[in-house]
Amino acid sequence: MGVTPAIVQRTTRDQLRRVAAETFGWSQLSAEQLHAMEHLMAGHDVLVVLPTGAGKSAIYQAPALLLEGLTLVVSPLIALQHDQLEGIEDTRAPQAVAVNSAQRSGDRKRAWQAIRHGDVEYVFLAPEQLAKDNVVEALADEHVSLFVVDEAHCVSAWGHDFRPDYLRLAPLIERLGHPRVLALTATAAPPVRRDIVQQLGMRGHREVIASFDRPNLYLAVERFTDDTGKQQSAFTRIRALTSDPATRRGLVYGASRKETEFYAGELAQSGVRVAGYHAGMTAADRERVHEQFLANELDVVVATSAFGMGIDKPDVRFVVHTSVPDSVDSYYQQIGRAGRDDRPAEITLFYRPEDLNLQAFLTSSKVSEDALGEVAQALQEHAGPVRLAQLNKRVQVGAALCTKAVNLLEEAGVVATMPDGQLQYVDPGVATDEAVQRAVEVARTHQRLVTSRIEMMRGYAETTGCRRQYLLGYFGEHLGHPCGNCDTCAAGTAKEQPALDGEFVWGGLVRHAEWGDGVVMSIEQDRLTVLFDDVGYKTLSLRAIHKHDLLAPIHAAEPAPDG
């Protein structure tokens, strides 16, 4: 008589709990953590979307000890790698090492020696390291059983923190024999989730998606027509919050370095323990601000979006945006740093519609046709496979721009990555000009999607409906009643979502004659928001839908993901 799947699952669950308790000291695993671990142990690729602080690292740390082989963790920031290494060092788990550009050469050599001798269970690498042939070859000689992509939204051009090097991970995964792939992120709307799965080449994957709802956060927007009035009101509100010991600790997000420096300077002059944070600062200065904030030596950090991943402080009582961010994705991740202790926190966006024009400029495509043409021509003239590092030396564009150009050309079907990781011009008969135009069209499609995300941010700022319903709808989550903890609920403008006689339902699939297939993300009194596969988010008036027969339901919604 064979062993039943239920018995196998129960045995695996018991093993995971034992490892969690005995090795890491975790007395309890959440349902989401356990589901994701079990999927990994069953041999599946897994996409996990859990809030920061929900223990995403545990999902690979425990199964790694039950799988034979190395666990490779791709993490985009050295500070994040450092935090995760320290976390493992404080447990009974086997050794973990990092390989990154901040290390001395001797430290890197010792790390590789430990890997080759089998003394290491976890290896942390930045995606830029994996672009190096010698690093990939060294890893190919090891048995990698688990490939973890942390901050996985970076793989998606839809994502709010896209990193071109992340797009080179899929060929690497195949070169390593396609070990189990675990993609982890704290925020990913439906199109980002689809993109992560596709770009990483995940097979037969499972998804574990936690609720995006943070009911302890009070959501508010204040609208302005002039920049001076917005600045004065934002400063007044921040000063009031910092003057109260119960709410003095918080984050302020601005759209530019200049803006962060302005607010940091004004707040410092008024006696607030504050520091600015932006990409123009040295790495050491940014690290110092980070550490001071976590140690309560600062009450406020005024930052651009550069102050992001890895910030896990439980007692942040407010998040203020002095300008509108580039997307709801960015906004959600940034406001999610408040109220991690489940106590009330205040979220306020100071909104001027004209600020959206700045975001449209900042997020516009940065790859020129000249750069695309130079890269395409170099690949075509090489007449054979070539390493990305070799290609970088053949062209006059910078390494990051070259990677972006290769990614666009590959997505356009002009370039392919071979099994050994080399690049190959697919069809010599395709002229360089045509290759460039195909890539440009891909870039335009990306830009349409980015533009639609900016418009969704406008929708959040300008809605008179429940802001939490709008926010959750963007992430594919349905809240059937107003939340009671946002400014529109307080003002009485938020009302129950209407029933539409079943014609259009939340999560339902619809078709538009011009925009193709899409899914209904939210329903308000007078409008629908639909996420279309090719053009992104569109908000349509119900009156126009009915008058011009714009949308047709096509079939029932897919079942909800696990978790």
Give CA separation, 201 vs 29, 371, 400, 404, 405, in Å.
28, 27, 22, 19, 20
> How would you class 33 by CB atoms within 10 Å of its CB: exposed for 0-12, middle for 13-18, buried for 19 or more?
buried
Distance of CA 226 to the CA centre of its chain: 32
- What CATH number corresponds to the domain at position 267? 3.40.50.300
Q: Are residues 103 and 169 in the same domain?
A: yes
- Provide the β-strand partners of residue 552: 511
Q: Which of 308, 328, 356 is the last residue of a domain?
A: 356
347 lies in some domain: yes
Top-ranked range on mean pLDDT: pick from 128-137, 157-166, 305-314, 432-441 = 432-441
**What's the helix, strand, coil split of the chain in %, to 5?**
45, 20, 40
Q: In this model, does residue 497 exceed pLDDT 70?
A: no
For the segment 275-287, what is each residue's pLDDT rounded down to a tens digit? Answer: 999 888 887 888 8
Q: In this model, does residue 159 exceed pLDDT 60?
A: no
pLDDT of residue 562: 56
Q: Are residues 542 and 433 in the same domain?
A: no
What is the distance between the alpha carbons of residues 50 and 22, in angstroms, rounded to a whole number? 24
* Torsions phi, psi for 158 (to 5 deg): -75, -25
197 lies in some domain: yes
The secondary structure element, H or E, covering residue 208 is strand 206-209
Owning domain of residue 405 = 369-445
pLDDT band at 223 (very low <50, low <70, confident <90, very high): very high
* Torsions phi, psi for 150 (to 5 deg): -85, 150
Q: What angle do CA 259, 260, 266 make, to 5 degrees?
A: 90
Q: Are residues 185 and 106 in the same domain?
A: yes
Q: In this model, does residue 502 exceed pLDDT 50?
A: yes
Q: In this model, does residue 498 exceed pLDDT 50?
A: yes
**More confident of the two residues 124 and 523:** 124
463 lies in some domain: no
Please state which of the ranges 56-65, 129-138, 204-213 shows the lowest mean pLDDT.
Answer: 129-138
- Provide the β-strand partners of residue 125: 74, 99
Please state which of the ranges 75-89, 169-183, 281-295 shows the lowest mean pLDDT.
Answer: 75-89
CA pseudo-torsion sign 495, 497, 501, 504: positive
Q: Where do the H-state alpha helices sit in 297-354? A: 328-335
471 lies in some domain: no
Q: Are residues 423 and 333 in the same domain?
A: no
- What CATH number corresponds to the domain at position 400? 1.10.10.10
Q: Are residues 172 and 45 in the same domain?
A: yes
Q: Region 555-559: what's the mean pLDDT?
A: 47
Are the C-beta atoms of 160 and 153 separated by less than 8 Å? Answer: yes
For the segment 9-53, what is each residue's pLDDT rounded down to a tens digit? Answer: 678 888 999 998 998 888 889 999 999 999 999 999 999 998 777
In the block, tokens 């079990």 appear at: 38
Q: What percent of the chain has pLDDT over 70?
A: 91
pLDDT band at 5 (very low <50, low <70, confident <90, very high): low
**More confident of the two residues 518 and 2:** 518
Q: Are residues 258 and 196 in the same domain?
A: no
CA dihedral 446, 448, 450, 454 (to 10 degrees): 180
Give CA separation, 505 vs 240, 277, 499, 530, 539, in Å.
42, 43, 8, 11, 15
Tell me the three state secondary structure of residue 464: coil
363 lies in some domain: no
Among residues 422, 472, 473, the alpha carbon closest in space to that of 137 is found at 422
Q: Region 116-120: what's the mean pLDDT?
A: 86
Are the C-beta atoms of 478 and 507 separated by less than 8 Å? Answer: yes
Q: Are residues 237 and 352 in the same domain?
A: yes
Q: Are residues 51 and 162 in the same domain?
A: yes
| pTM (2 d.p.) | 0.80
What is the distance between the alpha carbons of residues 294 and 304, in angstroms, rounded to a whole number? 18
Tell me the three state secondary structure of residue 356: helix
Q: Are residues 229 and 334 in the same domain?
A: yes
pLDDT of residue 559: 41
524 lies in some domain: yes
pLDDT of residue 161: 61
Among residues 371, 390, 389, 379, the alpha carbon closest in space to that of 425 is found at 379
Q: What angle do CA 96, 77, 330 make, to 5 degrees?
A: 135
Mean pLDDT of the chain: 85
Radius of gyration of the chain from its Cα atoms, rounded to whole angstroms: 24
Q: Which residues contact 299 (CB under 8 A, 6 or more apart)?
A: 242, 248, 249, 250, 272, 273, 274
DSSP string, 160-190: TT--GGGGGHHHHHHHTT--EEEEEES---H
pLDDT of residue 6: 55
pLDDT band at 428 (very low <50, low <70, confident <90, very high): confident
What is the distance between the alpha carbons of residues 224 and 222, in angstroms, rounded to a whole number? 7
pLDDT band at 558 (very low <50, low <70, confident <90, very high): very low
Q: In this model, does residue 64 exceed pLDDT 50?
A: yes
Q: Which two tokens stand for residue 294?
A: 């976590």
What is the distance between the alpha carbons of residues 272 and 238, in angstroms, rounded to a whole number? 10
483 lies in some domain: no
- The total of structural domains in the chain comes to 4
pLDDT of residue 560: 43
Residues belonging to the chain = 563
Q: Where do the H-state alpha helices sit in 214-368? A: 227-243, 257-269, 283-294, 328-335, 355-362
Cβ atoms within 10 A of the Cβ of 323, count?
Answer: 21
Top-ranked range on mean pLDDT: pick from 280-289, 343-352, 463-472 = 343-352
Q: Which of 209, 226, 255 is the last residue of a domain?
A: 209
The secondary structure element, H or E, covering residue 96 is strand 95-99
pLDDT band at 557 (very low <50, low <70, confident <90, very high): very low
For the segment 397-420, what is each residue's pLDDT rounded down to a tens digit? Answer: 888 788 888 888 888 888 888 777
Amino acid at 342: D
**More confident of the two residues 420 and 273:** 273
Among residues 356, 63, 12, 31, the alpha carbon closest in space to that of 182 is found at 63
233 lies in some domain: yes
Q: Region 363-376: what's the mean pLDDT?
A: 78
Q: Region 357-361: what's the mean pLDDT?
A: 68
Q: Are residues 92 and 237 in the same domain?
A: no
Q: Region 362-380: what's the mean pLDDT?
A: 79
In the block, tokens 């209407």 appear at: 498
pLDDT band at 309 (very low <50, low <70, confident <90, very high): low
Among residues 240, 212, 234, the alpha carbon closest in space to that of 221 is found at 234
Among residues 285, 294, 242, 287, the alpha carbon closest in space to that of 261 is found at 285
What is the distance between the alpha carbons of residues 333 and 335, in angstroms, rounded to a whole number? 6
Q: In this model, does residue 116 exceed pLDDT 90?
A: no
Amino acid at 500: L
Q: Region 351-377: what's the mean pLDDT?
A: 78
Q: Which of 356, 380, 397 is the last residue of a domain?
A: 356
- What CATH number corresponds to the domain at position 521? 2.30.30
For the segment 315-325, what is each residue's pLDDT rounded down to a tens digit? Answer: 999 999 999 98
Q: Are residues 205 and 221 in the same domain?
A: no
Q: Are residues 124 and 264 in the same domain?
A: no
